[in-house]
Structure formats: C-alpha cells, structure tokens
Amino acid sequence: MKIPTMIVDDEKVDRYTARRRLERHGGFGEVIEAESGDAFLETHCSVPGAWPKDGLPILILMDINMPGRDGFETVAELDRRHQRGMGPPSLVVTMFTSSSSPRDRARAAALPLVRGYAEKPLDAAGAEALDALYSAHLRSIGYAA
C-alpha cells in the first residue's frame, strides 16, 4: 500500500525536494501538488462527494507561509469544507514548514485536522516520521492493511 500524498506549498523547489524525498522512501504513492492554499481548495475541495469514500486517507503536507490564504487559514477552511462533504473523506494533515516556532507548533496543534508537524527540507528521517504518523492514523481508525 502506497500512501496517497498531496503537497500544498507556494515554493516550487520545496515541493520538488519533498516529492523526491518521498519517492526515494518508497512508501508513498504519486504526489499531487498545489501551489497555494486557494488552488488546493478550489481544485480538490469544491465539489461534495467528488472523492471516493472507500479510498485510503490522504496525507497532506501543508506549508504555513504562503501568499493569499496561509496554511492555517487553508486548514481551517478545509475543516469547514470537510464537514460539508467536500474534499477527501479521510485526511492526515501535517503542517510542512521551515518554521520551528513554538507559536506555530501550538497553533498547528490547535487545529482539529492537523496530526503532525514536519520541518523543511524534508529528509529521510522526516519521510520516515510521516510514514509512521500515517500508519498510526490508519491503526487509530481501524484500517486493516
């Protein structure tokens, strides 16, 4: 089973670096990218019931600092839309940022959809931690692989 993954980040280099690291890990499937929170919401979370209900949870790496809607605002809107049946039915959202600020970590932890916090650049240990976080989420929802 390969982990379905989305990266929402305005920096092309950061998306590329993360995608390459996830590919090297081997446990992640095709990575879908969005260059802003607004583009992500519009493309993937605008139509109720557009995602298959029986699919694996989607791992979302959400950058914090983006122009327009930042990562926190995007996740808050994602939560509202998710409650209305828009977007993937099951999510594992991880804030993905170069910020090691305790304030950002606390703010991320306060968002109901956020399950983790990964710092850039994503390295082998970070990819392994995302894999472990995802696996723990699957166990918590009773998913049998």
More confident: 42 or 143: 42
Residue 74 located in a structural domain: yes
Q: Which of 5, 92, 88, 77 is nearest to 49 (CA)?
A: 88
Residue 80 located in a structural domain: yes
Residue 67 located in a structural domain: yes
Joined together, the tokens standing for residue 79 give: 């939560």
Q: Is the pLDDT of residue 145 over 70?
A: no
Confidence at residue 71, expressed as pLDDT on a 0 to 100 scale: 97
Q: What is the pLDDT of residues 79-89, one digit of tens each?
A: 999 999 898 88
**59 pairs with which residues across the strands?**
5, 92
Domain count, the chain: 1
Question: What integer best gives the mean pLDDT of the chain?
Answer: 94
Confidence at residue 43, expressed as pLDDT on a 0 to 100 scale: 94
As a whole number, mean pLDDT of residues 95-112 equals: 93
Residue 145 located in a structural domain: no
Q: Is the pLDDT of residue 126 over 90?
A: yes
As a whole number, mean pLDDT of residues 100-113 equals: 93
Residue 24 belongs to domain spanning = 3-140
Residue 60 located in a structural domain: yes
Q: What is the pLDDT of residues 26-37, one digit of tens each?
A: 999 999 999 999
Q: What is the pLDDT of residues 36-56, one digit of tens each?
A: 999 999 999 999 888 888 788
Residue 16 sits in a domain whose CATH number is 3.40.50.2300
Identity at 138, one-letter amino acid code: L
